[in-house]
Structure 1
Amino acid sequence: MTQQSSQSKPESADHNGELIAARMRALLVRAPLAAGFVQGTRFEVVSEHFNHLFGHGDDTDLSGQDCRAVHVSDTAHAGMLERQAAAFGAGRPLDEEVEYVRRDGSRFWGRLQATPVHWDAPSGEALWIVEDVTAARQLRLQPTWTAKHDPLTELANRREFERRLSEHVGSRRHEPVSMLWVDVDRFKEVIQSMGPEVADHFLYGLGQMLVTKVRASDLVARMEKDCFAVLLPDCDQHYASIVAEKLRSSIAAYRLRWGLHRTRVKACVGVVQIHPSLETIEAVIGASTLACAEAKAAGGDSVRVFVSSGGYEQLAG
């Protein structure tokens, strides 16, 4: 009985190993993700989508090839490896845009997100995920885009937000329009404990998350270092408060996982519906920031609504 039990254990372990390998192969073939595992300077195994991204197909495969094959030069390849080693050594992934070359010689810009398979062995095998960002990069380089967007978060900047807000201030149209001011609580602590680079990635991720929580017709902007604003057309104070609470709870639930770094924050949200008494964009923004300040004074992680009939002092929520 004892002998049979001892023999079954390695058989079970082998079966589990084969099952895991089969799952990984199925994932690499079916998942619409350009992912590859890299050991040193060589691709160990890559996904089908990864092959297609670089111009390979059924007759050719990047698996087993040198990573130099996808870089435009020896210098570019060596530089990327140096930056990857430095990032992994600092306990963070490598996240950057790289110019790549396809099998046919054509070039494209890809966003490389590289991370060690095991953080306790940062010089070991790494996972690469590559996304084609050529079109997005070209768009960001256009003067019209840079004039309207925040370069870090890729959201609208303050100038563009104020321009869009001005279209509603003083308007005689009858549909309600509201604005939210979102201020991250104690963000300086994130910068002090994790450094500005991690903080920048956190702000980018946070901004992209906010976009997913509002309508396509709404506008999310980065107004200051750790402050965002949301313009809500055709939205009254009641529904704006619901959106504000949704954003507040989403921020509280958001987790930054960046290499070995883990952090979370909370935020306060000020709500204001545009009324005739708020005659300028400065007045509207001032009302929303005052409501947000009241939320912070109440202890943070909360929502406050500016009540226009009571002036700047009367707040509810």
Structure 2
Amino acid sequence: MPLAAPSTCAPSSAAPAGVAPAWSMPGPLVLRLMGVALVLLVLAGAASAWLVARSVQQDALDRLARQQSDEVDLLARLFAGKIEQVQKPLRGAATRITPQLLAQPAALQRALQQELAAAPWFASMTVARSDGTVLTHLQAHQAGTLRDSGVAPQSADEPGLDEASAAERALLQRTVREARAQVGEVLAGGSAAAHIAFSLPLLGANGQVLGALGVSVPLPSQALFAPAVTAVPQQGQARLLVFTRTGRILFHTDPARVLGSVRDEAGLRPDAACAPAALGGRAQVQGGYLASCADMPLPQWTVARVSAVPDLLGAGAALRRGAGQAAVAAVGGCALLLVGLLAWLAQPLARLGREAQRVRRPLDASAAAAAPGAGLLPPGPAAQAAQPWAETGAAAKGDEVAALADWLQRLQQEGLRQWQRSDALAAQLQSILEHAPVGIAVSRQGVLQLLGRQACQMLGYGVHELQGRSARRLHPSDADYAHWRTRMQTEFAAHGVLDGEARFVRKDGSLMWAQVQARPLQPGDAEAGILWLFEDITAQREVRHQQEWERTHDALTQLCNRASFEQRLGLLLAERGQAAEIAARSGNVAVVHADFDPAEAGVLLFLDLDHLTLVNEVAGHGAGDDVLRHVARLIDHQVRQTGWAARLGGDKFGVVLPRCSLARGQAVAEQLRVAVQALEATYHGHSFTLSVSIGLVPLGDAHWHDLRTVLHAADMACYEAKRAGRNRVLTQQVLQDRGDAALTRGLRARQA
């Protein structure tokens, strides 16, 4: 984006460096955005005005349609109720006609006359036998012709039977044949003489069809439509009609249209006339008419109302004109506000573009320094991407957006370099996983993410077989897996690290014991991932559980017990004494002195935990035992390469470093003290900081050949460390600066 002229917007040459002007002219990109925004604003205003007017018009029409549909539904329910009232006396009469009454035509005729008198809206009543022949036909206020059951059915030309009677006879025959009720059949005749027929099958005790009973109701009868129509108010020129599924009109507000075809009705679509359910119970607008339909399921009639659509177009046009004027005023005000707002919002971008152009030269120099010749980028895609920098800056001079693109390109190159570094780290990690002598695994939320080759070989799986699988498959049972997870959570909460033994199951089903160390990848957040290191100790565990191992080791800490410790220390002191005696007999004082030189004689450490009683009292003895186990593992890891450790009882531990100088022994003791002090245990919401007092005795003093004397000296040194304030190391230095002769005399006196 070009910068503004110095005389108007840009700061003068005398302005202090780094001070931005009060106003900067937006660049071409922002000006184009302003133009597009104004055009969109005008279009949005015009569209909004049109949509509002259209929405108001449509809402009015929808309200009218819903009201009309509700009225049609009400009429359909009222008509259905009238049909039910017509059928009720018919069902009562059918239940009273028994097989005995069918066998007595005279009694049947008298019974039908009573039924006709009780239901004045019936125009006729007819009974047919099971073979379809008419047994009795009565019309209102007169007796019908009594026929014998053996007589064949009459034809339509016989005296006393008109077209309506023939249609009734056909209806009864269909009722007997189909053994089901017929409802709402239209009998032939003009609009004034038309009838609606209803029939029911006459059933015996065991369900067989004995005959059929049918009645007819005059179509203009008040029993069907007229009372229901008066229950719903008429609106304007609306037409109400009832028609059959064949399209024959049974009721119409214009009596001349009765028995006509609904296909001739204006405002009703032909498909809706043939299939009224096509309207779906909703009002439809067609040709300036609003039509609503509702079905009457039992007689399969349809009730419809057709009304002229009110003149909403004129009102909508006026509304659109008013909305257009309001939209023009609103759009004009919004356009002015939008221009000012965009110009104000563009100020940071304009200043940023100017600053990008100002610092372009240092950026180009930095890009040149990052080229392959400068050694910052290796040859490859990143080096090729760094070449076009100067050309891009020259081509984009004066455009702040291009300057920002340059910055983003530089950031992309930096990201590429970071990706290359991460790729190198990934390669190193893969090399570690391939060649590490111990098993390495990384899990996240119980799912194995990475596994080293050694870990897969220990478990008998391929390199990628366990990746992405649940860690549950490495445990023998669900209970074992749940116990391990609980232990892991407890250890992480108390110490932040897990160090112990675990039992796994190999792919072939065999069990494997491993020494496991685990810690979260992010301290305090085990959900982010856990790093596992483990070694196969199946063979060592088998040896450990032998009787000799159990006799010489402490069950709680897995260290040597006091008896085993004293036995090994006694043997060490005895070997030292024998070597000194042999050297003394030979008279080689230099050899005697060399055997007991502090640089190789070894040291004894006596450790006593401080404040363990407080842990037992506050968190319980279980927590105290857990502390002892952790301290024992810590001591064992520290000294296993140079000596051995043992639990001497309670919270006391002993360490022997056989060939260790006094200075090295003091350094090891100090390391143990610092490591124990770094342990921070948490139990039941209480945090405990541990410490240890250590007494150190050098084994190079020839006077300390007795086991009891050495242990007592170490115990006294530890006691003095506690008296001096705890959490410290004290050395019991008894070996003084003696001559070789005096040392030899002491050894000979001991031999005597």
TM-score greater than 0.5 by the shorter chain: yes
Residue in structure 2 matched with residue 92 of structure 1 by the alignment = 496
Residue in structure 2 matched with residue 35 of structure 1 by the alignment = 440
Residue in structure 2 matched with residue 101 of structure 1 by the alignment = 505
Q: Give the secondary-structure state (helix, strand or coil) at the position aligned to 1:289.
A: helix
Q: Give the secondary-structure state (helix, strand or coil) at the position aligned to 1:222.
A: strand
In structure 2, how many angstroms separate the alpha carbons of the residues matched to 1:305 and 1:127? 44
Alignment of 1:224-243 (within 5 A): 224-230=649-655, 241-242=662-663
In structure 2, how many angstroms separate the alpha carbons of the residues matched to 1:146 and 1:35? 31
Which of 723, 733, 736 is the matching residue for 1:305? 733
In structure 2, how many angstroms separate the alpha carbons of the residues matched to 1:161 and 1:128? 32
Q: Which runs of 5+ in 2 are unaligned?
A: 1-359, 361-406, 581-595, 737-752
1:229/1:26 CA distance change after superposition, 3 Å: same
In structure 1, how many angstroms separate the alpha carbons of the residues matched to 2:607 and 2:558? 18
Listed one character per residue, the Cα deviations across residues 183-227 of structure 1 (whole Å, up to 9, x for unaligned) are 24636399589953245313321233133344xxxx543323443
Residue in structure 2 matched with residue 180 of structure 1 by the alignment = 604
Q: Give the secondary-structure state (helix, strand or coil) at the position aligned to 1:151.
A: coil
Q: Give the secondary-structure state (helix, strand or coil) at the position aligned to 1:173.
A: helix
Structure with more helix by fraction: 2
Residue in structure 2 matched with residue 51 of structure 1 by the alignment = 456
With 157-166 and 80-89 compared, the bigger mean Cα shift is at: 80-89
In structure 2, how many angstroms separate the alpha carbons of the residues matched to 1:171 and 1:198? 35
In structure 1, how many angstroms separate the alpha carbons of the residues matched to 2:490 and 2:649? 30
- The two structures, once aligned, show a CA RMSD in angstroms of 4.0
Tell me if 1:287 matches 2:713: yes
In structure 2, how many angstroms separate the alpha carbons of the residues matched to 1:113 and 1:278? 40
Residue in structure 2 matched with residue 205 of structure 1 by the alignment = 634
Q: Give the secondary-structure state (helix, strand or coil) at the position aligned to 1:182.
A: strand
Which of 112, 130, 133 is the matching residue for 2:534? 130
1:70/1:15 CA distance change after superposition, 3 Å: same
Task: Give, as a single letter, the amino acid of the residue that structure 1 aligns with 2:562.
Answer: R
1:213/1:252 CA distance change after superposition, 3 Å: farther
Query: What is the Cα deviation at residue 64 of structure 1?
Result: 1.8
Query: What is the Cα deviation at residue 144 of structure 1?
Result: 0.8
Query: What is the Cα deviation at residue 38 of structure 1?
Result: 1.4
With 149-158 and 262-271 compared, the bigger mean Cα shift is at: 262-271
In structure 2, how many angstroms separate the alpha carbons of the residues matched to 1:95 and 1:263? 19
Q: Give the secondary-structure state (helix, strand or coil) at the position aligned to 1:293.
A: helix
In structure 2, how many angstroms separate the alpha carbons of the residues matched to 1:30 and 1:20? 15
1:126/1:208 CA distance change after superposition, 3 Å: closer
In structure 2, how many angstroms separate the alpha carbons of the residues matched to 1:230 and 1:118? 34
Query: What is the Cα deviation at residue 148 of structure 1?
Result: 1.1
Query: Does the 8 Å contact 1:169/1:281 carry over to 2?
Result: no
Residue in structure 2 matched with residue 221 of structure 1 by the alignment = 646
1:54/1:262 CA distance change after superposition, 3 Å: farther
Tell me if 1:14 matches 2:419: yes
Residue in structure 2 matched with residue 245 of structure 1 by the alignment = 666
Task: Give, as a single letter, the amino acid of the residue that structure 2 aligns with 1:180.
Answer: L
Residue in structure 2 matched with residue 314 of structure 1 by the alignment = none
Query: Does the 8 Å contact 1:203/1:226 carry over to 2?
Result: no
Q: TM-score, normalised by structure 1?
A: 0.74
Query: What is the Cα deviation at residue 271 of structure 1?
Result: 1.8
Query: Does the 8 Å contact 2:460/2:507 carry over to 1?
Result: yes
Q: Which runs of 5+ in 1 are unaligned?
A: 309-317
Query: Does the 8 Å contact 1:274/1:284 carry over to 2?
Result: no
What fraction of aligned residue pairs are identical, expressed as a percent?
A: 24
In structure 1, how many angstroms separate the alpha carbons of the residues matched to 2:681 and 2:429? 22
Q: Give the secondary-structure state (helix, strand or coil) at the position aligned to 1:206.
A: helix
Query: What is the Cα deviation at residue 54 of structure 1?
Result: 0.8
In structure 2, how many angstroms separate the alpha carbons of the residues matched to 1:279 and 1:78? 52
Query: Does the 8 Å contact 1:153/1:204 carry over to 2?
Result: yes
1:182/1:17 CA distance change after superposition, 3 Å: same
Residue in structure 1 matched with residue 485 of structure 2 by the alignment = 81
Query: Does the 8 Å contact 1:292/1:304 carry over to 2?
Result: no
Q: TM-score, normalised by structure 2?
A: 0.35
- Relative contact order, CA 8 A, sep 6+: which one is greater? 1
Which of 386, 397, 410 is the matching residue for 1:5? 410
Residue in structure 2 matched with residue 312 of structure 1 by the alignment = none
In structure 2, how many angstroms separate the alpha carbons of the residues matched to 1:91 and 1:268? 23
Q: Give the secondary-structure state (helix, strand or coil) at the position aligned to 2:526.
A: coil
1:20/1:139 CA distance change after superposition, 3 Å: same
Listed one character per residue, the Cα deviations across residues 18-42 of structure 1 (whole Å, up to 9, x for unaligned) are 2332222222112222111112232
Q: Count how many residue pairs are aligned between Structure 1 and Structure 2.
A: 300
Alignment of 1:132-147 (within 5 A): 132-147=536-551
Query: Does the 8 Å contact 1:152/1:204 carry over to 2?
Result: no
Task: Give, as a single letter, the amino acid of the residue that structure 2 aligns with 1:68.
Answer: R
Alignment of 1:187-198 (within 5 A): 188=612, 191=615, 196=624, 197-198=626-627
Query: What is the Cα deviation at residue 48 of structure 1?
Result: 0.9
Listed one character per residue, the Cα deviations across residues 71-114 of structure 1 (whole Å, up to 9, x for unaligned) are 22233233333433444455633444332221122221223333
Residue in structure 1 matched with residue 10 of structure 2 by the alignment = none
With 128-137 and 110-119 compared, the bigger mean Cα shift is at: 110-119
1:187/1:212 CA distance change after superposition, 3 Å: farther
